[in-house]
Amino acid sequence: MTRNMWICLAVALAVLAVDQGTKAWVLEGLRLQEGQSYRLSSIFAVTLVRNYSMSFGLIGTGPVARGFLLIFPVVVVGILIGWARRSTSTLLSVAIGFVIGGAVGNAIDRFRFGWVVDFLDFSRLGFPWVGNPADWAIGIGVVLLAWHFIRTPERGGEAGEA
């Protein structure tokens, strides 16, 4: 395995550990019921939400949507692993690792519970959606991917150490 593939794997595993560990804390440690909140500061609360859809409610919750939400992450992760194996860019490998870790974290929830455990509540800051570390990791990964492609457009985004 290449150095950049190891980096990708390390980032993905770190994201997965944080995601699944914090979700276990919310479900088993705090023992919150759906919709119940535990305020940690004036701007942040832990609020348990069972997310049967996907980010921002972009897809429904019926059987077709559920099947899609179980299969789609597996396909995306497979494509990203192939891409990471060919990567010669550390930034690209880190970005892909964030996305893979987040996708796998949410997929584990869907397979275990039939829904994703959301709990990061910043509604006091005007952010209306409750999320989880996997969601944030996917967002960070997408931003890093965009940064990578903006910095290295001459080779389709693939360059040496970016």
Residues assigned a catalytic role:
118, 135
Distance CA 32, CA 119 (A): 10
Detail the DSSP E strand segments found in 3-127.
37-39, 45-51, 116-121
22 and 137 Cβ atoms separated by less than 8 Å: no
Amino acid at 139: G
How many residues are recorded in the chain? 162
Detail the DSSP E strand segments found in the chain.
37-39, 45-51, 116-121, 130-131
